[in-house]
Structure 1
């Protein structure tokens, strides 16, 4: 059941690339929310559980750095993703204050970023 919901949510992101996706009190900019311009493919959306769900696929086991930054560029959440192949990660947004944040995924010189708004 969870995987079906995840696939549906990913489909919604792809079908509506110029709108924002909102669930609970988080809104993530979904304009080009699925990136294939890097050596890894990434998609993300907020869940009803006040989490940011990040889906990633990469062909090797190199590390992708995940960060949520506040408006000063300070990382408020960070993690390393080194899973080979496809992975789904859930990051709790419960401790974030209302405001605008930047979600950044980077690997070597490749960077994927999107805006996240906590309402």
Structure 2
């Protein structure tokens, strides 16, 4: 059976278009912002931790990272002495923008997105 040149070229064009579209979609889905997954310098981390701890007296830093949310440069998670966890959003000058308590619903939602699996045998 003969395959015409026109059919092969059309098939290659369709595959190329689908591949390009898939790559664009995957990139858009994974790139929340320009700071997504940016590693903080030691100075940034230290300044963000200090600002977050000032917002939650006696707290302990759980995590600090660059933010991919518009207008927010850094995000910190802090546990206060009573065990309550707080999310702190900071701007680029380490000023506290928002301080919100994690609720049980937030923690359960985080658990639902956990990639680990357990056997229930």
TM interval, shorter chain, is under 0.3
The structure with the greater share of residues assigned to helix is 2
Normalising by structure 1, we get a TM-score of 0.28
Which protein is bigger by CA-based radius of gyration?
2
Structure number with higher relative contact order (C-alpha < 8 Å, ≥ 6 residues apart)? 1
Normalising by structure 2, we get a TM-score of 0.27
The structure with the greater share of residues assigned to strand is 1
